[in-house]
Amino acid sequence: MGLISLGAGVAIGYVLGSKNGKEKLDRRLDSVKKSAEETWQDPKVQDFVHKASETATRVAHDVAESAKKAAAFASETVNKGSETVAETAEAAEVKVEEAAEEYATAETKSTGHSDGHSGSTSNSEGRDTDDWTNEGGAKS
């Protein structure tokens, strides 16, 4: 396989390097360029290019409009969601406050004190002391 590739390379080099091969190549390239230019200038091709350009512009505009609508919808949905979260948080806060008030009321009824403490207790000497006596680190 290597000898075949080498032979093909030498043959191509010879054809391209020779004056005759170079002239043939130049004529062929000129012919291809002329054919491409004539095809590009054909009114049917230009009409197709014009229609394709208009279609691409229209599709790009439609996609941009759809993206704007989708972004607006997403923004509206997020705003509604955040409002719902805020309302839910407020409702939860109210319920927690109500539960705390119910607990405080139940505690007051069970102990008979409105400060939430159970009243007097015995200290290490066996004397009754008020719960608030030792508040702030005071010693009795």
Distance CA 49, CA 42 (A): 11
Query: What one-character-per-residue DSSP string does 16-84 give?
Result: HHSHHHHHHHHHHHHHHHHHHHHHHH-HHHHHHHHHHHHHHHHHHHHHHHHHHHHHHHHHHHHHHHHHH
pLDDT truncated to tens, each residue of the chain (140 aa)?
A: 688 888 888 888 777 677 777 788 888 989 999 999 999 999 999 999 999 999 999 999 999 999 999 999 999 999 989 999 999 999 999 999 999 998 988 888 877 655 544 444 555 555 555 555 555 555 54
Residue with tokens 């691409």: 56
Per residue in 11-51, pLDDT (tens digit) is: 887 776 777 777 888 889 899 999 999 999 999 999 999 99
* Cα 131 to Cα 118: distance, rounded to the nearest angstrom: 8
